[in-house]
Amino acid sequence: MDMAAASSGHKLTLSIMRHAKASHDDYRGADIDRPLNKRGERNAAAMGAWMAANDLAPLRILCSPAVRTRQTLEVLRPGLAHKPVIEHHETLYLAGPLVLLKHLHAVKRRAAHVMIIGHNPGLHALALDLIAEGPQDRIAALGRKLPTSGLVVIGFGGTAWGDVVAGTGTLVSFTTPAELD
């Protein structure tokens, strides 16, 4: 599916990505410092390639400061068409949907495509809160789970990020690494 064509009726595009798979059993440090594991690196690279193939090029990326989110972003970057503005905010670490929305509202208009890379359950809740319509099978799949490296693309008809509220978005795409295998 050509994402650029699918979202052409929307003035704003939001991509929401959960960080790639991180180390669990073999890691003993603080949660914020957990790195990606090999599977996570592969999945993030595959998602970056999928984004490039589908003309998904965020102009601004809001990223949690956690090691696993930063590494996810670094693995994705080669697939991005241009160099986006990247912001790391301490408050995005394990943020809930209201904090995530507050950061989105602070984005200036000239960034018509914004991406958030962060954590569940906040990202999952935000995506579900924002979506009003779209392919029902994909909305149902998203309702069940936003897996690691899962990517949700939502289009909005408004012209300002500050106008984005619950129930105003259209699901353009929901893609998981398992679907790319």
For 25-76, what is each residue's pLDDT tens digit? Answer: 777 889 999 999 999 999 999 999 999 999 999 999 999 999 999 999 999 9
**What is the predicted pLDDT for the residue at 3?**
53
For 104-151, what is each residue's pLDDT tens digit? Answer: 999 987 899 999 999 999 999 999 999 999 999 999 999 999 999 999
* Domain coverage including residue 17: 3-180
Binned at pLDDT 50, 70 and 90, residue 5 comes out as very low
pLDDT at 2 over 70: no
Residue 72, both tokens: 């996810």
**What is the predicted pLDDT for the residue at 29?**
85
pLDDT at 79 over 90: no
For 14-35, what is each residue's pLDDT tens digit? Answer: 999 999 999 877 778 899 999 9
CA angle (118, 100, 21) in 5-degree steps: 10
Cα(27)–Cα(12) distance, integer angstroms: 39
What is the per-residue burial (b if ≥16 Cβ within 10 Å, else e) of 37-69?
beebbbbbbbbbebbeebebbbbbbbbbebbbb
Task: Tell me the pTM.
Answer: 0.94
Q: How many domains does the chain have?
A: 1
**What is the predicted pLDDT for the residue at 181?**
76
**What is the predicted pLDDT for the residue at 108?**
83
Look up the CATH number of the domain holding residue 145. 3.40.50.1240
